[in-house]
A = this chain, B = another copy of it.
């Protein structure tokens, strides 16, 4: 296995405050994994025996209902930790993680979690900060689902993706990973039909431009207005 350069980790939250040598130690304990688009990384309910750091790509974290509905709880962008059930003392993963595009991650066996937390000053603190932010995001999502109409939720969902993975193009801001209408409906708790109708309408108004599995937001500002932003 080729060694990974330390510079990959400097600057990303839980490692930000560490020495280069410490990062080296951590890296030497990591395994690199590559996932195809659509490949499952871990599944809801299975033993949480590893935690992950996404180096490249995008991950979708989903949950399934017995009724067969799937809903997308959050997206992970590169540089973020995921599958951190071990840090929260859970012994199974609470959700399923799937690669939205070809992705590369590091992973460590569960037991290293405590080791890192004790050995490296700031490691735990920084991670829990991430947890706090994610929790805040979940709160927002609950409020949104409980109070907003579908149109506003859809606008928010697009904005969230744009904020996390937006790539500037000459047309506007492009969402960097493939998304289907179905996917979006699973983020917003609606149907792919409704999503398709709304996107069509927005396309006519020049707010977005979408093709198959691909969305460019041309007028983010309009979406903000439509979303009736919470915060």
Contact = CB atoms under 8 A, between A and B. Distances in A.
A33 interface: no
Stoichiometry, as copies per complex, reads: 2
A139 to B, nearest CB: 6
Interface residues of A, number: 38
A38 to B, nearest CB: 21
A132 B69 contact: no
A141 interface: yes
Interface in A80-134: 85, 87-90, 94-95, 124-126, 128-129, 131-132, 134
B129 A88 contact: yes
A188 interface: yes
Given A138-B139, A142-B138, A142-B141, A129 B89 contact: yes
Given A69-B147, A135-B138, A146-B189, A125 B89 contact: yes
A15 B230 CA distance: 37
A145 B145 contact: yes
A188 B136 CA distance: 19
